[in-house]
Amino acid sequence: MNKTFNQKAWYFVIPVFVLVAFNAAVPLMTVVNYSFQETFGSNVFAWEGTRWFKEILHSERFHASLGRQAIFTFIILLIQLPLGIFIALTMPKKGWGVPVCLILMSMPLLIPWNVVGAMWNIFALPDIGFLGNSLNSIGFDYNFTQQSGDAWFTTILMDVWHWTSLVVLLSYAGLNSIQPAYYQAAEIDGASRWDIFRYIELPKMKKVLTLAILLRFMDSFMIYTEPFVLTGGGPGNATNFLSLDLVKMALGQFDLGPAAAMSLIYFLIVLLICWIFYSLMMKDEART
Amino acid sequence: MKKIKWLVPTIYIIFLMLPIYWLLNMSFKTTTEIINVYSLWPKDFTLENYVTIFTDSTWYMGYVNSITYTVFNTIISVSAALPAAYAFSRYKFLGDKHLFFWLLTNRMAPPAVFALPFFQFYSSVNLFDTHIAIALSHCLFNIPLAVWILEGFMSAVPKELDETAYVDGYSFGRFFFKIFIPTIAAGIGITMFFCFMFSWVELLLAKTLTATIAKPIAAIMTRTSSTSGYELGLLAAAGSLTIIPGAVVIYFVRNYIAKGFAMGRV
């Protein structure tokens, strides 16, 4: 669409700008403020310069939790995107199955995050949980509170359970927007199922998949409540993701300076990745 | 191939329902039964957990609080995002691309980062422990999303619609409310669904910004479990009840999800 230049459009954006700035600017500045200072409690601060940033960037603990976080997000995207697209492709297109699928599949998305964590906790407990008990009774030695492998497995399974539906819903919406004429043309050309997917469905889903990838990346990279309730970062530090570690530092040990510096580094990492992705997307949009 | 196609969604739905069933199963058991007996259905069926929740005001007010701020937030987010999304979809203006990205960046700030500054900030403006505080703080991540989704829907509406309306003598306000909003009703439905969803499920900020008056149900659950031992049955019942408002909302927007997305470029 060719847009016209109109500076008055700013008036339309003002409410959004004010509301978001109100929430973003002051808290962000507080964090920036803390990140350069040492706290001694009761509002006494001393200037520390970039000391916290240097310390965080060189700390083993930060590297470890960043590594865990990156692996977690990578696995999540790797499982949820293909699985979500696959399920969307097999969903009914009309009839009573549509509302049934949509309603049941959206349910995990609308459960408060700590309830999700608590629900999976009692579901996976080796003695009284269905998952834990079943796995143990068929011969697996499963205990997510003690074995780090099991803790990872449970956390990933929980996230797949929780969020795959978002990818399904978005992909399904994208698929629904394809005119039947495309499929008829493909049939005349004798295209295989794979060709239809590769050259018709996938390009048509590009917009929704972009949204899905960005949302899944951001939310899985910032995951906090669910693993906090499910594993609390344990056993040991096995599932101690970036947010969990950060909150432990900020509220547990009350190291506001380092925690603030870590927050900013964390924020910048998310920002950088999303910016690269966003620019690539915009470039692509300008081309087509 | 065609015959077994329904199998995939079915298996997926069964997988989704299992943990929910387990939660429901537990909510009808007594805490002693949960801990001592492993059974696939309640042997000693009880409604006691639900009775406790519906008779104790600290419990049921939690639901009222959560629904209140979620509705506030949905209304604020969508009504602020509508004109902004219109501006982004129709006009170029100074700094538009940067502003759009800046909005998105707020969706990327880990809430864990902001918890403490938010507490200090909202306390200093005397909004601590009010519904409006949570509703406003959730705007941080809901407004960017709302603008993004609505912009997609609006861009799909041809500009000729606007121009024809002006030629017919419509003022901007009349055009916007009488023609444009009904045209993108499905998009607004989807946006409201997403705003409701993300506000309803968020806990960290909601918990940080409240003490007693506006405490959300999810936070009440964490508190009760720590003070009166680990009352699993009660916890399961409270958890099961948090599913209902979401399910109601999905029921209302199901047609929008099925059809509505089709018109947007989202």
DSSP codes, chain A: -PPEE-TTHHHHHHHHHHHHHHHHHHHHHHHHHHHTEEE-STT-EEE-TTHHHHHHHH-HHHHHHHHHHHHHHHHHHHHHHHHHHHHHHHS-SSSTHHHHHHHHHHGGGGS-HHHHHHHHHHHH-TTT-HHHHHHHHTT----TTT-HHHHHHHHHHHHHHHHHHHHHHHHHHHHHTS-HHHHHHHHHTT--HHHHIIIIIHHHTHHHHHHHHHHHHHHHHT--HHHHHHTTT-STTTT--HHHHHHIIIIIS--HHHHHHHHHHHHHHHHHHHHHHHHHHHHHHHH-
The confidence score (pLDDT) of residue B74 equals 95
Q: What is the pLDDT of residue A41?
A: 62
Q: What is the pLDDT of residue B1?
A: 53
A43 occurs within a structural domain: no
Which of A285, A155, A164, A161 minimizes the C-alpha distance to A232?
A155
Q: Which amino acid is at A37?
A: Q
Residue A38 within a domain: no
**Is A113 in Cβ contact with B108 (below 8 Å)?**
no
CA distance A140 to A145: 15
Question: Residue B7 domain-assigned?
Answer: no
Burial B39-51 (b: 16+ CB within 10 A, else e): eeebeeeeeebbe
Residue A100, domain member (yes or no): yes
Q: Is residue A229 part of a domain?
A: yes
Average pLDDT over residues B50-63: 87
Judge whether residue A63 has pLDDT over 50.
yes
With a cut of 50, say whether residue B264 has pLDDT above it: no
How confident is residue B71, by pLDDT bands cut at 50, 70 and 90? Answer: very high
Over residues A106-147, the pLDDT tens digits come to 889 988 888 898 889 888 888 888 898 888 888 888 888 888
**CB proximity B137 to A under 8 Å:** yes
pLDDT for res A173: 81
Residue B45 located in a structural domain? no
Query: What is the count of structural domains for chain A?
Result: 1
What was the pLDDT predicted at B69?
A: 93
Is A274 in contact with B89 (Cβ distance < 8 A)?
Answer: no
Q: Is B192 on the interface with A (CB under 8 A)?
A: no
CA dist., res. A214 & res. A53, Å (int): 27
Minimum mean pLDDT range among A38-52, A257-271, B222-236: B222-236
CATH classification of the domain holding B195: 1.10.3720.10
Task: Judge whether A132 lies within some domain.
Answer: yes
Residue B172 belongs to a domain: yes
Interchain CB distance below 8 Å, B93 and A129: no
- Whether the pLDDT of residue B151 is over 50: the answer is yes
Alpha-carbon distance A182 to nearest alpha carbon in chain B (angstroms): 15
Q: Which domain holds residue A213?
A: 64-287
Chain A, chain B: beta-carbon pairs less than 8 Å apart? 285
> Is residue B20 domain-resident?
no
Comparing CB atoms, the residue among B23, B91, B250 nearest residue A103 is: B250
Is the pLDDT at B265 greater than 50? The verdict is: no
Higher pLDDT, A256 or A167: A167
| Residues paired with residue A4 on neighbouring β-strands, in sequence order | B91
In a domain, A19, yes or no: no
Chain B contact present for A243, CB below 8 A: yes
Domains in chain B: how many in total? 1
For residue A192, the domain's CATH number is 1.10.3720.10
pLDDT band at A163 (very low <50, low <70, confident <90, very high): very high
A56, part of any domain:
no
Q: Which residues of A touch B115 (CB under 8 A)?
A: 247, 250-251
Query: What is the domain extent for residue B118?
Result: 56-228+241-263
pLDDT at B3 over 80: no
- A101 inside 8 A of chain B by CB: yes
A282 touches chain B (CB under 8 A): yes
